[in-house]
Amino acid sequence: YQWNSNLCANHGGQARRSVTDLKKPLIHARITDMSQKRVLSGIQPTSDSFHLGNYLGAVKQWVELQDSHDTFYCIVDLHALTIETDPTLLRQRTLASAAQLLALGISPDKATLFIQSQVPQHNQLGWIMECLAGFGEASRMTQFKDKSAKVGSDSARVGLFTYPMLQAADILLYQANLVPVGEDQRQHIELTRDLAGRFNARYGDTFTLPEAYILKEGAKINDIQEPTAKMSKSSGSVAGVIEIMDSPDANLKKIKSAVTDAGREVKFDPIEKPGISNLLTIHSSLSGISISQIESDFVGKGYGDFKAAVADVVVEYLRPIRERAQELLLDEKHLLSILHSGSEKARTVASATLD
């Protein structure tokens, strides 16, 4: 009974199962502290390096949440197959993703870090989610519309269309309460909630309805050459994307040649000054100094001084992370053992939900 009441607490304190239900075998698995809320998020191994948007929009929150929540983080290699992918490169990038996540602060002692394709339950539940989703609602997903428009309908994969339903399965299998993501993923989390609600209504109360965990600041970092478009691994311009694994020199150069706006004033104004506002967000999120304080520090100074300061903050923040990731990549066996034990734990939780 203790086990069951804790389970209810995990569902936001609501007693969602009847007394008769409580006697039935549990469909949810908890293998760590049951008073903690569950968190799940994922990242695609679609590049050799994550960028600052991935970190500030998502991974930074992943690291913070692992101290207070029961966290599951996955490298979503199946999602990466929605774009043309060389198999050797995908394997390499999956390992590079693990190394970067560890270097950024994910601790295997606190969080469950795993590879999506090692947990086949994701595909099994994914199909059920596809059969619950309407063609119309899936067609309205802006990521699908944007990405398919870029490559054209002949090249766009069916998997690109169905990926939000697989993403719903990724989340629901773990009965996640929170999903820390960037702003671009809000629509997919809404769809996940709709699908979970639809499933619960049709087949009985099964899934926790997850909430998107999106910060006000840093939820959308823009390309520094095209400051009205989001910084992106696969579609950003090389010069506009600040990569975690880039050399300090390369990032210094990129930030010094970032596109700025008319005028001279360092002021946060995303409409009139998207370039400067983006750099202010980056500086503030990494340095911890408030945007208004940075604005006052640069009163009377030009954009050149400001960009040099942003470059300094970014380069010094990323330097030890890149070095640690490079070090971790030298020991593939160690990385694989972390991922294998994470995947094993993930399979236990996922299969209990699926059962």
Tell me how far apart the alpha carbons of residues 324 and 135 are, in angstroms, rounded to a whole number: 44
From 10, 49, 57, 166, residue interacting with ligand AQP (rule: CB under 6 A): 57
Stretch 12-51: interaction string toward ligand AQP, x if CB under 6 A: -------------------------------xx-x-----
The verdict on whether 233 is a catalytic residue reads yes
53 is a site residue for ligand AQP (CB under 6 A):
yes
54 is a site residue for ligand AQP (CB under 6 A):
yes
Strand, coil or helix: what is 79?
helix
Q: Classify burial at 333, counting beta carbons within 10 Å of its beta carbon; exposed 0-12, middle 13-18, buried 19 or more.
A: exposed
231 is a site residue for ligand AQP (CB under 6 A):
yes
The verdict on whether 273 is a catalytic residue reads no
User: Tokens representing 330?
Assistant: 């030298």
- Binding segment toward ligand AQP, per CB under 6 A, in 21-29, 177-185, 259-267, 308-316: 177-185
The helix, strand and coil proportions of the chain, stated in percent and rounded to the nearest 5, come to 55, 10, 35
Task: Point out the residue whose Cβ comes nearest to ligand AQP.
Answer: 57
Q: Which of 147, 220, 273, 345 is catalytic?
A: 147
Phi, psi dihedral angles at 74 (to 5 degrees): -125, 145
How many chain residues bind ligand AQP (CB under 6 A)? 20
Residues recorded for the chain: 355
278 is a site residue for ligand AQP (CB under 6 A):
no
Q: Classify burial at 240, counting beta carbons within 10 Å of its beta carbon; exposed 0-12, middle 13-18, buried 19 or more.
A: buried
From 74, 181, 321, 346, residue interacting with ligand AQP (rule: CB under 6 A): 181
Tell me how far apart the alpha carbons of residues 61 and 218 are, in angstroms, rounded to a whole number: 10
Complex with ligand AQP: residue 115 or 231, whichever CB lies closer: 231
> In terms of Cα–Cα distance, which of 49, 100, 90 is closest to 335?
100
Q: Identity (one letter) of the amino acid at 82?
A: T
- Binding segment toward ligand AQP, per CB under 6 A, in 153-161, 205-213, 224-232, 293-301: 224-232
The verdict on whether 147 is a catalytic residue reads yes
User: Tokens representing 39?
Assistant: 């968190």
Shortest distance, position 213 Cβ to ligand AQP, whole Å? 10
Q: Which residues are marked as active site?
A: 147, 230, 233
Positions in the binding site for ligand AQP (CB under 6 A): 43-44, 46, 53-54, 57-58, 181-182, 184-185, 219-221, 230-235
